[in-house]
Structure formats: structure tokens, C-alpha cells
């Protein structure tokens, strides 16, 4: 802001300046300074929301990892139990329950097969599910961050539109005429704000079906980049849903 003020005032320093023009510049500078402070507050609020979303994701991932470690420990303990001393004890109990004599070789072979089945079931079902849960949690975090960012974009557009309104009001109060009649329409001022945001790259172009698909659990990690970028959505079966 200091550089802006210097660039405005220094070229006319020591020269005769129209009093209305000077009043206009002074008031506009104050209005812009206030607008910049508002935008900085919005940026800090956005960053805080991002941090909260990341902390929530990390906590959920840690909880999922703890559960995965517990299940993995149980999975590895059961086969060891079956093929070692615990398994031998189990054969005695099983013989007593069934009241039949089962050869040791058969019992130990059964224990080995059971251990292999448990390990195979873990690798086939549980391990991929743990990975998928972690991926889904990261998608949820990206979606939460996207919601915060969308809210940030809307509030920034409003702040810029309000700033433009203030500047136009200053112009009218000093010069007793409208700067441009088209800006009397609120939609025109909002369009200027949107254009400014677009030129700075502050846009959020997600698929129009993102919220609906997320609420219905359709979005997976491999689809997220398409949903978030809105690129390739014409190939999505849900994109044309009413």
C-alpha cells in the first residue's frame, strides 16, 4: 500500500492539483487500504480453515492406522498360535470335544491350512480395505478444503464488489455525477469482481455434480482429479444425471 500511495502522490508533489481530484484520491486510497485489510483477514481465515481440515484428516488417518496395526497384529498372531504350542493345545481340546482320535499330522496340517487361509483373507480383503479407507479420507479432506476455498472465493468477490461500490460512491459525492451508469446495476459490479478474481487465478472450477456425487459416496480416489478439475467429466456416467 505504501508503494501505491507513493506512485500516486509523488508525480504531483509540489504541483497545483485540483482540490476535488485530491479529495477523490485521498478517499479512494483510504477505501482501498480498508479493502486490502479485509482481504488479508479473509486469507488468514482461509489458511486457518485449511489447517483445521488437515488436522482432522491427520487425526482420522492416525485412528485408522492404529486400527490397522491392531488387526494386523491379531492376524499375524493367530497363525503363529495355530502352528505352535497354542495349536498343539488346540488339537487336544478339539479331540476332547469331538471324542475322536485325529492323527497329529492331520491336526497340524489343518492348523497350517487355517493359518494360510487367515493370511490370505487378510491380504485379499482387509489390507486393500485399509488402503482404500486411507485414500477415501484424503479425498474427504480435499473436498473439505474445496468447500472452504469456495467460501473464500465468494467472500472475496463480495469484498471486491463492495470496494468498487465504495469507490463509485466516492466519485459521485465529489464530482456530483455517475462514473458510468452501467455500474448502477449490482450485477455489473459483481461481474467486475469475478473478472478480477479470474485474472488472478483465484477460481474454483469443479464439476457441477461434485456435491451430489460426494454425498452419495460416488467419488473415489481414482476419480477425484476429474471431479475436482472438471476436466474429462463428459465421460462420467453421473455428469449427465438430472
Domain annotation covers residue 32:
yes
Domain annotation covers residue 8:
no
pTM: predicted TM-score of the whole model, two decimal places: 0.65
Count of domains observed in the chain: 2
Q: Do 173 and 210 fall into the same domain?
A: no
The grid coordinates listed for 103 are 492323527
**For residue 105, what pLDDT is reported?**
58
Domain annotation covers residue 7:
no
Q: What are the pLDDT tens digits along the chain (242 aa)?
A: 566 656 656 655 656 667 888 888 888 888 988 998 999 999 999 899 888 888 888 887 777 677 666 666 655 555 555 555 444 555 555 555 556 565 655 555 665 666 666 666 666 666 667 777 777 778 888 888 888 888 888 898 899 999 999 999 998 888 888 888 888 888 888 888 888 887 777 666 677 788 888 888 888 777 877 887 777 777 777 766 65
Q: Do 209 and 132 fall into the same domain?
A: no
Q: Do 170 and 83 fall into the same domain?
A: yes
DSSP-derived secondary structure letter, 185: S
Q: Do 37 and 63 fall into the same domain?
A: yes
Q: Do 156 and 216 fall into the same domain?
A: no
DSSP-derived secondary structure letter, 201: T
Q: Do 135 and 154 fall into the same domain?
A: yes
Domain annotation covers residue 49:
yes
Q: Do 104 and 24 fall into the same domain?
A: yes
Domain annotation covers residue 174:
yes
Q: Do 172 and 77 fall into the same domain?
A: yes
Residue with cell 487500504: 33
Q: Do 145 and 99 fall into the same domain?
A: yes
Q: Do 210 and 121 fall into the same domain?
A: no
CB 32 within 8 A of CB 163: yes
CB 161 within 8 A of CB 154: no
Q: Do 29 and 140 fall into the same domain?
A: yes
Domain annotation covers residue 167:
yes
**For residue 151, what pLDDT is reported?**
87
Domain annotation covers residue 2:
no
**What residue spans of the chain are helical by DSSP H?**
2-9, 19-83, 85-98, 104-121, 127-175, 186-199, 210-215, 221-229
Q: Do 198 and 209 fall into the same domain?
A: no
Q: Structural domain of residue 188, as residue ranges?
A: 18-202
CB 168 within 8 A of CB 179: yes
Domain annotation covers residue 11:
no
First-to-last alpha carbon distance for the chain, in angstroms, is 48
CA distance 15 to 114: 95
Amino acid at each position: 500500500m505504501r508503494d501505491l500511495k507513493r506512485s500516486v502522490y509523488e508525480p504531483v508533489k509540489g504541483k497545483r492539483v485540483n482540490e476535488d481530484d485530491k479529495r477523490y484520491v485521498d478517499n479512494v486510497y483510504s477505501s482501498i487500504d480498508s479493502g486490502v485489510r479485509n482481504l488479508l483477514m479473509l486469507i488468514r481465515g482461509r489458511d486457518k480453515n485449511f489447517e483445521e481440515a488437515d488436522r482432522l484428516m491427520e487425526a482420522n488417518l492416525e485412528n485408522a492406522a492404529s486400527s490397522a496395526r491392531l488387526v494386523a497384529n491379531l492376524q499375524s498372531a493367530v497363525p503363529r498360535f495355530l502352528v505352535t504350542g497354542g495349536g498343539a493345545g488346540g488339537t487336544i481340546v478339539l479331540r476332547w470335544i469331538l471324542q475322536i482320535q485325529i492323527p497329529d499330522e492331520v491336526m497340524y496340517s489343518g492348523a497350517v491350512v487355517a493359518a494360510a487361509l487367515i493370511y490370505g483373507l487378510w491380504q485379499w480383503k482387509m489390507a486393500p480395505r485399509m488402503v482404500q479407507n486411507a485414500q477415501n479420507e484424503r479425498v474427504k479432506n480435499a473436498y473439505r478444503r474445496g468447500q472452504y476455498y469456495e467460501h473464500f472465493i465468494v467472500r472475496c468477490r463480495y469484498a471486491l464488489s463492495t470496494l468498487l461500490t465504495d469507490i463509485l460512491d466516492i466519485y459521485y459525492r465529489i464530482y456530483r455525477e455517475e462514473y458510468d451508469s452501467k455500474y448502477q446495476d449490482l450485477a455489473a459490479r459483481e461481474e467486475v469482481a469475478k473478472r478480477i478474481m479470474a485474472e488472478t487465478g483465484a477460481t474454483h472450477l469443479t464439476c457441477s455434480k461434485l456435491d451430489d456425487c460426494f454425498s452419495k459416496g460416488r467419488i473415489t480416489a481414482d476419480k477425484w482429479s476429474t471431479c475436482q478439475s472438471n476436466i474429462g467429466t463428459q465421460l462420467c456416467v453421473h455428469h449427465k444425471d438430472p
